Structure 1
Amino acid sequence: MFAAVRIIGRFALPLVMGVVLAISAGTAQAGDAAARRIIGFSPDGAYFAFEQYGTLDAGASDSGWSQIDIIDTRTDEFVGGKPILVVDNSEEATLTLEQARAQAAAQAAPVLARYAIASQGEQTASDKFTFPGEMVAYNDISRLEQVSQKWLSPLYDETGISTIQLDEILAASTSDCSASFDATQQGDTSGKALGFRLTLQGQDGKPFKILHEDKAVPGSRNCPTSYSLSESYEFIPAGKPAVIVVLLQRFSQGFEGRDRRFLAVTGQLR
């Protein structure tokens, strides 16, 4: 089972409490901010899956949607080359959230069964103030974006990781992302989009592995405005390398405000 883990935060208490008051279970509602559900790992750790879901904001459609990512942790690539996505972008959309999730689950079921992916592994760190299990109201997402963390410190880690560090970097982009940068962005942004580097640091405080570094930002990320860390998970299968999964929040400009989506970065630690 996935175990809840206490967060080591870097924000002052008044600021954190302000976010808690602004974004709470009482104010969470349908908006273009994904919630997530962890599905789990395969017994050999070679595959990991999770679902993110929500309701599109009030643009052309208010369709319910669901996306299930099934990832090969040895290559950090989607099984089948892409996630399973159910959404109706038409102006006449009638797809409810419940219908979208049911359809995505039905499509994913054969693949999940093939690799015996189930709820196993352990949550080693989380920023609980990302509210990953809630569809945060879109008028609160910008506040969430401002205080989200760029590092996590795993507890009870058996792989020697002391810190997971996120750095935002410029990377190549085929999309015109000029409108996504604010005035404080340094460097030449032409032909670029905001990407990220994910680094693992050991108990001595020194980096020992770059888990991910963007060389190019895919158009599917919709010109990100920022990234932050949400959670990390580990699974150590018998006789196999330990597997780590880091969930990031990706923020971008939507129809009526910020959108939130989740990205999973996976890797095996030898």
Structure 2
Amino acid sequence: MRPSATRAASARRDGAEPAPRLHPWAKALVAALAALLPIATPSLAGDRALIDFIGFSPDFRYFAFEEFGIQDGSGFAYANLYVVDLSRDDWVAGTPIRVRADDERRPLAAIRAEAAAGAAGHLAELGIDVPVEVAALIGDGVPDIDAKSLVFGAPGYQPGAVLDRHALALATFETAAASPCADWFGTAPLGFALTLSGEGTETLLHRDAALPRSRGCPLDYRLYGVVMPFTAPVAAHAVAIISVYPGGFEGPDRRFLAVPLGR
């Protein structure tokens, strides 16, 4: 998913096509969520999406994750499942899979299960079953941190051991957007730039130009974490996860962007 791209591919499948076999991750998710279906989902203020890391393909070219939550304003549950071609920094054709309830009474568990079923064919076709190693994470409950920098390395086998130390630096700046952000929120939208440094080098991984309509009107960005394939925990196959905060009905919302660290 190139963060500055404007793609919203349809996830609709032909009715005559046979249903895909569920990916193991999807089977586990559907089973777990089915148990929660009878539980009513309360209306929440704001919209802070959560994230679930699904995995990598065996050649580490593809990475999948899900963001999900309760939409502010409407109170409708939603789930967006992204499959990223890391070599192209772009979404795989036919994704993301986006599912949103049209009624507050339809629970988040059902929406997530529907998104998992819709993505099952893509995950199976690309063999996305390599577990995710979380190399670094800035949790939402960590206070007094601006989350604009993050030092990380490949996890070692001894307690606290870290290999190949690197650092990410996130910068924000005013830019143009497809949406009338100044009219809606009284402020210019923000873009971001991400830089990777380590071993005496510094690489600009991404810098926004004009923002796509799908990004909305970002008010801020924060580094959320770095993930790697479990079988190859090195920076060349790592992905930076960035929280983006577009303006919403009840304050800033939170969504996620994935930026590959090596291509």
Q: TM-score, normalization: structure 1?
A: 0.70
Inter-partner Cα distance in structure 2 for 1:147 and 1:64: 29
Match of 1:153 among 132, 143, 151: 151
Inter-partner Cα distance in structure 2 for 1:46 and 1:155: 20
How well do the aligned residues superpose, as a CA RMSD in angstroms? Answer: 2.9
Inter-partner Cα distance in structure 2 for 1:198 and 1:159: 21
The CA deviation at 1:181 is 6.1
Inter-partner Cα distance in structure 2 for 1:96 and 1:267: 36
Deviations 1:206-243 (A, max 9, x none): 41x211111121111220000010000123877x9931
| Partner in structure 2 of residue 34 of structure 1 | 49
The CA deviation at 1:42 is 0.3
2:52 matched to 1:56?
no
Inter-partner Cα distance in structure 2 for 1:124 and 1:174: 34
| Partner in structure 2 of residue 100 of structure 1 | 111
| Partner in structure 1 of residue 174 of structure 2 | 170
Would you say the 8 A contact 1:87–1:95 is kept in 2?
A: no
Inter-partner Cα distance in structure 1 for 2:76 and 2:241: 25
Inter-partner Cα distance in structure 2 for 1:117 and 1:131: 30
2:197 matched to 1:201?
yes
The gaps in structure 2 that reach 5 residues or longer are 1-41, 156-161
The CA deviation at 1:201 is 0.4
Q: How does 1:60-209 map to 2 (within 5 A)?
A: 61-80=74-93, 82-88=95-101, 90=102, 92-128=103-139, 130=140, 147-156=145-154, 160-178=164-182, 180=185, 193-204=189-200, 206-207=201-202, 209=203
Distance 1:80 1:34, change over 3 A: same
The CA deviation at 1:63 is 1.2
Distance 1:213 1:86, change over 3 A: same
- The SS at the match of 1:114 is helix
Aligned residues: 213
Deviations 1:64-99 (A, max 9, x none): 1101010000011011164111013x5x55432011
Q: How does 1:246-261 map to 2 (within 5 A)?
A: 246-261=240-255
Inter-partner Cα distance in structure 1 for 2:107 and 2:146: 30
Distance 1:121 1:82, change over 3 A: closer
Inter-partner Cα distance in structure 1 for 2:61 and 2:141: 28
Would you say the 8 A contact 1:43–1:117 is kept in 2?
A: yes
The gaps in structure 1 that reach 5 residues or longer are 1-27, 133-143, 183-188
The CA deviation at 1:37 is 0.5
Deviations 1:183-226 (A, max 9, x none): xxxxxx5xxx311111100133x41x211111121111220000
